[in-house]
Structure 1
Amino acid sequence: MSTRLRDIMVEDVITVNARATVKTAAVIMNKHEIGCLIVADKGKAVGIVTERDILKRVIPRSEAPEKVRVSEIMSKPLLTAKP
């Protein structure tokens, strides 16, 4: 028996704007108790930002999360599949 994508996918995806700060993304993740967000620009999914992206790409640089844009640290391109 195979599992179909449409049976396991999440329909209400939580997103963050590519121009938002990393701090904003972290607040959204914390509020929704999730570890990643889809990054959107002009209504189109352009990447994904994860807790690991923040830990690996912001913290070591000693930059303030409120000064770094999500677009600077997101993983891209975003791979998608159709249900």
Structure 2
Amino acid sequence: MQTASQLLKQKALHSVLAVAPHATVFQALQVLADNNIGAVLVMDEGKLVGIFSERDYARKVVLVGKTSAVTPVAEIMTSRVLCVPPTATASECMAVMSEKRIRHLPVMDGDKVLGVLSIGDLVHAKIAEQEFTIQQLEQYIYR
């Protein structure tokens, strides 16, 4: 079973993408679009203060009639961010995401953000693990 740290190393995007709390929702949406991601961290002077996702935009901007061009991210971001340590297993990460109904999970080593795992990252890891197990079983059977 892979750890969160190992999963982060396999990602194509290794840098930690973030916006400032005073950035507008429009600016945060531009980061999402430019990088083809569904959530971005909100950081203030290197400290994680929140996460902004497409879900936040849909529920806290569009549905309540706010304007993305002037609304600051800090006003609508999710400020209670669930995180895991780099030693968390993929199964532990999936359990947190399933239980809390979230799609993005920051990996932190103390106060340092190492990266963000998405539900897609974890699904890909699980599929790869299962394919490996099947391959091993097939080799065992056909020997």
Would you say same fold, with TM above 0.5?
yes
- Please tell me whether Structure 1 or Structure 2 has the larger radius of gyration of its CA atoms: 2
Give, in angstroms, the shift of residue 38 of structure 1: 0.4
CA-based RMSD: 1.3
How far 1:82 sits from its partner (Å)? 2.5
Cα-to-partner distance string for 1:12-53 (whole Å, 9 max, x where unaligned): 111011110000000111011111000001211111100010
Q: What code does the residue aligned with 1:27 have?
A: Q
Structure possessing the higher relative contact order (Cα contacts under 8 Å, 6 or more residues apart): 1
Aligned to 1:35: 38
> For residue 7 of structure 1, what is the amino acid of its counterpart?
Q
TM-score computed with the length of structure 2 as normaliser: 0.54
Unaligned runs of 5+ in 1: none
In 1, the alpha carbon distance for the partners of 2:82 and 2:22 equals 20
Residue 54 of structure 2 is aligned to residue 51 of structure 1:
yes
- Equivalent-residue separation in structure 2 for 1:54 and 1:75 (angstroms): 11
**Aligned match of 1:20:** 23
Report how many aligned residue pairs link the two structures: 82
Q: Map 1:3-18 onto structure 2 (within 5 A).
A: 3-9=2-8, 11-18=14-21
Which of the residues 81, 84, 104 maps onto 1:81?
A: 84
Q: Which amino acid aligns with 1:22?
A: V
% same residue: 30
Moved over 6 A (4+): none
The answer to which structure has the higher helix fraction is: 2
Counterpart of 1:68, as a letter, is: T
Per-residue deviation, 1:4: 1.0
